[in-house]
Amino acid sequence: MFGNKLKKVIYIEGMSCSHCQKRVEEALKKQKGVKEVKVDLRDKKAEVILDRDISESEFKEIIEDLGFKFKKIED
């Protein structure tokens, strides 16, 4: 935890280029409670800083609506 912020790491399959990376970043940043997003193509993950807890199912829906595969999430 970062003060009163939460950090989650979302593992995502199917991202292959900077366009994919940007789409994921933009979709996650639009979610209420998301403060920062950093997507790493090489490691196939997104690190997200939140000021409220967002459920795994919400993240899964966002990722899969973009056409990528949600693998897992870690706190």
Q: What is the pLDDT of residue 33?
A: 93
What pTM did the predictor assign? 0.90
**DSSP H or E segment with residue 75:** none
Fold annotation for 6-74: Alpha-Beta Plaits (3.30.70)
Q: If you compute the radius of gyration of the chain from its CA atoms, what whole number of angstroms results?
A: 11
At position 45, the amino acid (one-letter code) is: K
pLDDT in tens, 8-66: 999 999 999 999 999 999 999 999 999 999 999 999 999 999 999 899 999 999 999 99
Q: How confident is the model at residue 5 (pLDDT cuts 50, 70, 90)?
A: confident
Compute the half-sphere exposure of residue 21: CA atoms within 13 Å on the CB side of its CA: 12
Are 29 and 75 in contact by the 8 Å Cβ rule? The answer is no
